[in-house]
Structure 1
């Protein structure tokens, strides 16, 4: 087992340092007014990419924004093998999921939403007069959005209260 000093030494002694000494291949700031709308879209929402392979060379994640207009909802869709995390900045999100979108939960500003791979889901703006603004992160740099026009939603979805398995009470 390597000691912590071996581990630290390994980090400082990179085999192939970048030719520009990290200036252009290090940290990147993506200004909010330069996000890229050229990403798979789902009816009812506006997705924009900030971090992906094409823009910054990201290998293992995708990040961007999602806006849903007041009183609007997306079509049912899933994201294939990707895991997704949605962070609500502003507004009230209502998520529906399942083969018939039979489950529902709501999230507000500061809340995180996790969507596992392959789960059919729909995002709904639960506010009648405020735009829903979210940050979206995915587990791979590829953008996958599979729209499911044949999913027939049941009309009274079952509310699911999420219980943290590490804090059941």
Structure 2
């Protein structure tokens, strides 16, 4: 097979941001839209101190998160009844279909690399406004 028949590798130097349904601005990364990926999306997120996402889940897609700096508190579960804190150096997994709300309860920004098994990134986001009031 000649090298011209192989898909091309691509480098992204993120510079653009986009607003996600969850209420955060993300730094563009790997997606179907940016590189033609078919099974994964990866982006960078910085959550300012005191900021939180809207309650949501990702329909049929898993999420993996690596916390680069700061920390976040994530509420998750059917009624957001579970709580875990993720700190710099932690990896966090969210199964498909699990409602969740990340919150930066700290005093410094929380920066994370996020990867999802949804190459279109925002396509599988389902907002759950009925759960928003359950997070302090």
Structure 2 length-normalised TM:
0.87
| SS of residue paired to 2:34 | helix
- What is residue 66 of structure 1 aligned with on the other side? 45
- What is residue 11 of structure 1 aligned with on the other side? none
Structure number with the bigger relative contact order (C-alpha 8 A, sep ≥ 6) is 2
How far apart in 2 are the matches of 1:36 and 1:28?
A: 19
CA contact (8 A) 1:100 1:154 kept: no
Does 2:9 align with 1:30? Answer: no
Equivalences for 1:35-46 in 2 at 5 Å?
A: 35-37=16-18, 40-43=20-23, 45-46=24-25
Aligned residues: 133
Structure 1 length-normalised TM:
0.71
Structure with higher Rg: it is 1
What are the ranges of 5 or more consecutive residues in structure 2 without an aligned counterpart?
A: none
Does 2:126 align with 1:146? Answer: yes
* Deviation per residue, 1:24-60 (Å, 9 max, x gap): x53322113x2441x63312x2223300111111111
Runs of 4+ in 1 over 3 A off after TM superposition: none
What are the ranges of 5 or more consecutive residues in structure 1 without an aligned counterpart?
A: 1-13, 156-169
